Amino acid sequence: GNSVTQMEGPVTLSEEAFLTINCTYTATGYPSLFWYVQYPGEGLQLLLKATKADDKGSNKGFEATYRKETTSFHLEKGSVQVSDSAVYFCALSDYGKAAGNKLTFGGGTRVLVKP
Amino acid sequence: SQTIHQWPATLVQPVGSPLSLECTVEGTSNPNLYWYRQAAGRGLQLLFYSVGIGQISSEVPQNLSASRPQDRQFILSSKKLLLSDSGFYLCAWSLTSGAQYFGPGTRLTVL
């Protein structure tokens, strides 16, 4: 079956530092890939997505590139802020409405940015 | 634009009591709907999903059940809560793009 593996946290870094969160996946076919962010006490928010190989998703200074050859979708941000402190989830989609469009999630990576 | 609502936002219930959590979506038709549970400090566990009215798929055997009485309404229920049912319950919707969009969640504490 499908699976998503993320680096375990917590990741602690200083403001303006470079952030990378690794994500690798196993899947049959050509899944879509997603990054979600969860702030304390809130639901998940879609951060960015990529639907095919070599696509780059970007939003709010975050970027991730769909790398089929390495089955990876690493999340990066060049200069983090305290407000980026959150839990980040990588996910892939079992495509098709009939199959329920289910997502397979990684375990989440907690990021703490200190001033 | 689409919005998703969940209520209540927080709930404290005694062991053995019933449960009903509600989720509604506005601004879209015939969405897929999902219930997830997130235990403290843990990842997401898919509980149920629905591709249409009255169609429910269960992912994990448990004492919870789900129903979809209307196109944009999804209800999570239990007849008798267990301590292990405590957690953060999230509802989500999707169409055909694959991305799911989550509600604000319900924090359930079973004492």
Q: How far apart are CA A83 and CA B93, in angstroms?
A: 26
Please indicate whether, in this complex, the C-beta atoms of B32 and A100 are within 8 angstroms of each other.
Answer: yes
Assess A35–B contact: CB distance below 8 Å, yes or no.
no
Contacts of A1 (CB under 8 A, 6+ apart): A104
The predicted pLDDT at position A34 comes to 96
Q: Calculate how close chain A gets to B35, using CA atoms only, in Å.
A: 11
Q: Is A38 buried (19+), middle (13-18) or exposed (0-12) by CB count in 10 A?
A: buried
Specify the residue for token string 């989550």.
Answer: B102
Nearest CA in chain A to B93: A101
Locate B49 and state its tokens. Answer: 């999903």
Res A100 pLDDT > 80: no
At B17-38, the pLDDT tens digits run: 999 999 999 999 999 999 999 9
Residues A97, B95: C-beta atoms closer than 8 Å = yes
Contact B49 A97 (CB under 8 A): no
Whether B67 shows a pLDDT value over 80: the answer reads yes
Residue A109 near residue A9, CB atoms below 8 Å: yes
Name the residue in chain B with its Cα closest to that of A106.
Answer: B43
Nearest to B105 among A42, A97, A101 (CB): A42
| Integer Rg of chain A from CA | 14
- pLDDT score, position A42: 94
* Rounded-to-integer distance, Cα A21 and Cα A11, Å: 9
pLDDT above 90 coverage of chain A, percent: 81
At A24-61, the pLDDT tens digits run 999 987 889 999 999 999 999 999 999 999 999 999 99
Best of A5, A97, A109 to disrupt the B interface by mutation (most B CBs within 10 Å)? A97
Contact A100 B99 (CB under 8 A): no
Give the mean pLDDT of chain A: 92
A3-17 average pLDDT score? 94
